[in-house]
C-alpha cells in the first residue's frame, strides 16, 4: 500500500493561503513578508493559514520577478573532487547557507560537456559562475560573452581580463624551504611532480628564491616526473645514492612525500633526525597517517572558495571587476616529519 500522501499533487500557493485567510493575494504576501501595511490581526490570520497549508513561497516565481535566481554554478573538471569540495564549502560559507544554492557540474575534462553545462547554467539564470580546475595552469577562458560574472578558482583563465583566484605556489615553495632552514637543514633537495604543471614550476621558483636568500643552493636538480608515490620512492632511492648527505627533502605533493618516507625508512634514515621531509597539499588522510606524520603546505582551498564567491558578489553589486590573477596565501602545517616530537 502506498504511504499516505507521499507526493501531494500540488504544493500550496499564496493564492490558497489568501483564500483560506479570507484576504487578497497582496495582503497575504505583505503579511508573510513582514511588511507593515497590514493589521496585526490580519497578519496572524494569514500566518496561521500559511502554516496550516505548510505554505512555502515558490522561489521560481520569486526569482522570475526579481531577476535574480539566488543560484550559482560551479563548473569543474576536477574528477576526484579533492579541490572542488573545499572550494564549494567555502563558497557556501560566503553566500550564507540557504541564501544561495550551488549547481555543481562536472565536465570531466571534456570541453563539449563544459559548453553544455555552461549553457544549461545560463538558461537557469544563475547569478554567477565559478570555474574550478584541477591544476594551476591557465585554462581557456569561457570568453566574455557571458551575461553573469565568472570567477576562475584554482586554475586561472588564460585571459587577463577575467577574474582568477589561485593559491600562491611560489610562496608555498618559499615557506616550505624557510621552515626546513629554520630547523637547521642546509643540504636540501626537491622531488616534484609533473613538470608541465605550473604548480610544480612555481613551487620550485619559490624554493630556489628562499635558498638563494640564505646563500644556499639546491642539492642536485629539481627532480620532476609525476605526482605519484611510486615516483617518490624511485626519486628518494636515486637521491640517497647520489647525495647521501642530504638533510632535507621538499616534496611536490603529499603522495610523493609518502613514497620518500617509505624509502628513507627502508634505508634506515631517521625522519626527522637525519632527514626532514615536507609534503604539499596537506591531504589530511595521507599526512596524518604516515610514519612520522607529515609536515605539509595547505592551500587554504576553503578560503579560496570564499574569496571566489566574494568576487562574484562584488561583480553583482556592480563593483569594478578587479580582473587578473589574485593569489591566495598558503599555510604551513607542521607535523613530525620536520620537527621531532618532544
Partner DNA sequence: GAAACTTCCGAAATGGTTTTCGGATCATGT
Partner DNA sequence: ACATGATCCGAAAACCATTTCGGAAGTTTC
In angstroms, the CA 238 to CA 236 distance is 5
Residue 62: CB atoms within 10 A of its CB come to 12
**Binding-site partner at residue 320 among DNA, a second copy, none, CB < 5 to 8 Å by type:** a second copy
Residue 7-26 contact track with DNA, rule CB under 7 A, x = bound: ---xx-xxx------xxxxx
Cβ contact 248:189 at 8 Å: yes
Positions in 256-295 near DNA (CB under 7 A): none
Question: Residue 207's closest CA among 240, 178, 167, 236?
Answer: 178
CB 203 to DNA: min, Å: 47
Q: Residue 259, class by beta-carbon neighbours within 10 Å (0-12 exposed, 13-18 middle, 19+ buried)?
A: buried
Site for DNA contains 120 (CB under 7 A)? no
CB 25 to DNA: min, Å: 4
What is the DSSP code (8-state) at residue 267? T
Positions in 157-186 near DNA (CB under 7 A): none
**Binding-site partner at residue 15 among DNA, a second copy, none, CB < 5 to 8 Å by type:** DNA
In angstroms, the CA 126 to CA 235 distance is 47
**Binding-site partner at residue 258 among a second copy, DNA, none, CB < 5 to 8 Å by type:** a second copy
Site for DNA contains 58 (CB under 7 A)? yes
In angstroms, the CA 332 to CA 342 distance is 19
Positions in 60-79 near DNA (CB under 7 A): 61-62, 64-67
Residue 8: CB atoms within 10 A of its CB come to 9
CB 16 to DNA: min, Å: 7
Binding site for DNA (CB under 7 A): 10-11, 13-15, 22-27, 29-30, 32-33, 35, 37-43, 55-58, 61-62, 64-67
Amino acid at each position: 500500500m502506498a504511504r499516505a500522501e507521499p507526493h501531494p499533487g500540488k504544493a500550496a500557493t499564496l493564492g490558497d493561503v489568501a483564500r483560506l485567510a479570507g484576504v487578497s493575494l497582496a495582503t497575504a504576501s505583505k503579511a508573510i513578508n513582514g511588511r507593515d501595511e497590514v493589521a496585526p490581526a490580519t497578519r496572524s490570520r494569514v500566518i496561521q493559514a500559511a502554516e496550516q497549508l505548510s505554505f512555502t513561497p515558490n522561489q521560481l516565481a520569486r526569482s522570475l520577478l526579481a531577476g535574480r535566481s539566488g543560484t550559482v554554478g560551479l563548473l569543474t573538471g576536477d574528477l576526484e573532487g579533492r579541490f572542488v569540495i573545499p572550494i564549494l564549502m567555502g563558497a557556501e560559507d560566503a553566500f550564507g547557507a540557504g541564501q544561495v544554492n550551488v549547481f555543481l557540474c562536472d565536465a570531466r575534462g571534456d570541453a563539449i560537456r563544459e559548453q553544455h553545462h555552461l549553457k544549461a547554467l545560463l538558461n537557469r539564470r544563475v547569478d554567477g559562475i565559478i570555474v574550478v580546475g584541477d591544476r594551476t595552469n591557465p585554462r581557456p577562458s569561457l570568453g566574455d560573452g557571458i551575461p553573469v560574472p565568472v570567477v576562475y578558482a584554482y586554475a586561472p583563465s588564460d585571459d587577463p581580463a577575467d577574474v582568477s583566484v589561485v593559491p600562491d605556489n611560489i610562496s608555498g615553495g618559499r615557506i616550505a624551504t624557510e621552515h626546513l632552514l629554520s630547523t637547521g637543514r642546509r643540504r636540501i633537495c626537491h622531488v616534484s611532480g609533473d613538470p608541465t604543471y605550473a604548480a610544480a614550476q612555481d613551487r620550485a621558483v619559490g624554493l630556489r628564491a628562499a635558498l638563494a636568500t640564505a646563500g644556499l643552493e639546491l642539492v642536485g636538480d629539481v627532480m620532476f616526473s609525476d605526482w605519484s608515490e611510486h615516483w617518490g620512492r624511485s626519486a628518494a632511492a636515486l637521491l640517497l645514492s647520489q647525495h647521501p648527505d642530504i638533510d632535507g627533502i621538499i616534496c611536490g605533493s603529499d603522495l610523493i612525500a609518502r613514497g620518500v618516507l617509505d624509502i628513507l625508512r627502508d634505508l634506515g634514515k631517521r625522519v626527522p633526525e637525519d632527514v626532514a621531509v615536507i609534503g604539499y597539499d596537506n591531504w589530511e588522510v595521507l599526512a596524518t597517517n604516515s610514519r612520522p606524520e607529515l609536515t605539509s603546505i595547505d592551500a587554504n582551498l576553503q578560503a579560496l572558495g570564499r574569496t571566489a564567491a566574494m568576487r562574484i558578489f562584488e561583480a553583482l553589486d556592480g563593483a569594478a571587476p578587479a580582473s587578473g590573477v589574485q593569489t591566495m596565501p598558503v599555510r604551513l602545517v607542521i607535523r613530525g616529519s620536520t620537527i621531532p616530537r618532544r
